[in-house]
Amino acid sequence: MGKEEEYQETETESNSSDDEEDEEPERWKKHYSSKHRMLLVGEGDFSFSVSLARAFGSACNLVSTTVDTQDNIAKKYSNGVRNVRELEEKGGLVFYGVDAKEMSGHFFLRTQRLNKSLIKGYLSNAKVLLKQDKGEIHVTHKEGDPYDKWDLVKKAEKIGLGLHEIVPFSRGDYPGYENKRAHGSQSDAPFPLGNSSTYKFKPNHSSKFK
């Protein structure tokens, strides 16, 4: 989760078969598998990525991005630098200065991860990176006013993404994850999550809501 009025996006896609990868046991953390190739957008102090990496025993399947610069991460978050270091030591990739509304133009994400996630300009960019008929886009955000006004489902439908499932989000499911405000003088402070949900979308309306 980013700041209180923001959201978190996760894109998943099944890894192509590989002899070495197949030898490793698959590990799951809620909806996410160590066999998924994942792009995490809008990370604050990277604690959500670290939580997944610890559960998987590796971050080799993770690409984590933030709109912040490396210097800002160090200034804003008490554990930001340490979390980035842990991700990189576990084989993960970290990119700074990635705007979710323009990420489809990022050279690495465009050429190495044809895979994606959501919200207006973000929705359109996400579809570009998502492999056709493969992968999912997860958007986690708070429920209630004003978040219900985002019309996530309608925005997704307009660009060819169908709602697959809505599941409750609980921070307790991801040990080590700390939600941050991300902006202002209290950027490193948490905020009340309240009722939050993860919306799962798939391309081409291939799955119907459960």
Domain assignments of the chain as residue spans, ordered by start: 8-20+35-143+170-194
Q: Where are the alpha helices (DSSP H) in the chain?
A: 19-23, 47-56, 70-76, 80-89, 107-112, 121-129, 152-158
Burial 70-101 (b: 16+ CB within 10 A, else e): eebbeebbebbeebbebbeebebbbbeebebe
Q: What is the pLDDT of residues 129-142, one digit of tens each?
A: 776 667 788 888 88
78-108: pLDDT as tens digits:
889 999 999 999 999 999 988 877 777 776 6
Q: What is the pLDDT of residue 50?
A: 95
Inter-CA distances, 118 with 26, 71, 185, Å? 27, 27, 28
As given in the structure block, the two tokens for residue 50 are 């670290």
| Closest of 36, 40, 38 to residue 16, by C-alpha | 36
Residues 136/28/198/67 CA torsion (nearest 10 deg):
-70
Residue 2, pLDDT > 60, answer no
The average pLDDT across 27-48 equals 88
pLDDT-based confidence at residue 155 (cuts at 50, 70, 90): confident
Of the listed ranges 6-10, 104-108, 186-190, 195-199, the least confidently predicted one is 6-10
Helix/strand/coil for 56 = helix
What is the distance between the alpha carbons of residues 156 and 203, in angstroms, rounded to a whole number? 9
Distance, in Å, from the CA atom of 11 to the CA atom of 39, rounded to the nearest integer, reads 5
Q: Based on C-alpha coordinates, what's the Rg of the chain?
A: 16
- Are 45 and 188 a contacting pair, CB within 8 Å? yes
Contact 164, 207 (CB under 8 A): yes
